[in-house]
A = this chain, B = another copy of it.
Amino acid sequence: MSLRRQLERLSGEAKAAARILAVVPTAQKNRCLRAMAAALRRAVPAILAANRQDVAAATRAGLSPALIDRLTLTRLRVAEMRRSLAAVAALPDPVGRVLRAWRRRDGLLIKKVRVPLGVIGIIYESRPNVTSDCVGLCLKSGNAVLLRGGSEALRSNVAIARTLRRAARRAGLPAGVLAVVPSTDRRAIDIMTTLSGHLDLIIPRGGEALIRRVAAHATVPVIKHYKGVCHVYVDDRANLAMAEAVAFNAKVQRPATCNAMETLLVHRAAAARFLPSMIRRLKAARVEVRGCPQTRRIVPGLAAATERDWSMEYLDLILSVKVVPSLQAAIDHINRYGTSHSDTIVTDDRRHAEQFLQAVDSAAVYVNASTRLTDGFQFGLGAEMGISTDKLHARGPMGLEELTTYKYQVYGRGHLRT
């Protein structure tokens, strides 16, 4: 059977399962999620054995230690997978919620109701725990899921999926609510992204190259999680102690994340008072600082930031710093070089704050808070499928609601169009 035929068969099963799952009561979905968590516990030996084979093959193939760490499962990591399934079971069900209902004067009742999307394809890289995390979120939101993980994790993913499928069947759901693409062929990605009519959405979770590849080929809708070039702007009306705390947290607390600050913008009226102490503290935390000419005049000895730095997602303890002549210049810089992810103004001036919140075209815009707060759990969504840098359908942290769509249910008494 060709790879395309195989994927069409898998997604056909997923589609049939999705039709059933779409109308399953919340309690049954929750029972299934808890059954999955319990099944993972019983399957720990089998899953760890499969994972050891993956890790051994990856070691022989000379993969980097960082990649092998991401690939490796332990009892602790499987326990986290179980906890995450149980946590999703405890969340409210987004499906069936009436978003809006209205009645026309002639009595026609129109309800806009939240429903699952159908079948979601997830394309991801090496972490096998993503497999069960995605299954939990998709199942709770009423969607079937087709999973294509990194080829180096295939044995682990197949072992996890087999466990979860068995649990789904025992909970009275079709096993087809989830499936792992059983192939390491890279063409599987391109085929998946063109299965229009079979898949309703593709979410690539991984590096920029993977996401660009998916977006370039896809005819199925894609929600993208591109990089974050996030900014903190210290206004001339800022509380400088707060500014230092916010900027330090945004850069240093976890620099490898998409919501970490990459560029610090400082109003020129605040620069001389603010920058020396700020940069001293950053350097003490081993941050490499690259400055614009004004920054380097105020704090001598810094490396020069080049034009390229303003667009860089370092994902590391590196920071570019720029002095700007005005709030508007800060906004323009962010809208030009940023990635519409997360940006902060530190200011005590309410009008400046509102101008920034309105004019900066980003998924999350902050006043006096760290960009690191852009996160499904921090926002209280209870879950996170990623942080969308798209504007269509879902923007910013994606929780369960963002994995649904809606339909109009219309009640008439013989209503016609005249």
Contact = CB atoms under 8 A, between A and B. Distances in A.
Interface of A: 19, 22-23, 102, 104, 108, 110, 115, 117-118, 196, 200-201, 215-216, 219, 221, 223, 239, 242, 245-246, 249, 253-254, 335, 353, 357-359, 361-370, 372-375, 378-380, 390-393, 395-396, 405-418
B249 A416 contact: yes
Contacts of A19: 335, 359, 361
Main secondary structure of the interface of A (DSSP, over half): mixed
A26 to B, nearest CB: 14
B407 A245 contact: no
Q: Taking each of A219, A223, A353, A414, which has the highest tally of chain B beta carbons within 10 Å of its own beta carbon?
A: A414
A242 B392 CA distance: 40
A191 B87 CA distance: 45
Nearest to A397: B408
Given A393-B393, A407-B363, A245 B23 contact: no
A409 B246 contact: no
- Tallying the copies of this chain within the complex gives 2
Contact of A369 (B245, B249, B406, B412): B412
B22 A417 contact: no
Contact of A118 (B370, B391, B411): B391
8 contacts: A22-B361, A115-B361, A201-B391, A239-B414, A362-B407, A363-B407, A365-B409, A372-B417
Contacts of A367: 410-412
Given A365-B407, A405-B391, A358 B23 contact: yes
Given A23-B359, A379-B408, A416 B245 contact: yes
Nearest to A408: B364
Q: Which 10 A-B pairs have the closest CB atoms?
A: A369-B412, A372-B417, A369-B415, A393-B393, A249-B416, A391-B405, A242-B414, A392-B393, A364-B408, A221-B392
Given A118-B361, A219-B216, A392-B221, A414 B368 contact: yes
Given A391-B200, A392-B201, A416-B249, A410 B369 contact: yes
Q: Taking each of A201, A215, A366, which has the highest tally of chain B beta carbons within 10 Å of its own beta carbon?
A: A366
Contact of A108 (B200, B361, B369, B408): B369
A392 B392 contact: yes
A405 B395 contact: yes
B201 A369 contact: no
A369 B249 CA distance: 57
A407 B395 contact: yes
Contacts of A417: 249, 253-254, 370, 372-373, 375, 378
Contacts of A335: 19
Given A216-B219, A396-B407, A408-B364, A415 B359 contact: no
Given A216-B219, A391-B405, A364 B416 contact: no
Nearest to A369: B412
A114 to B, nearest CB: 11
Contacts of A375: 417
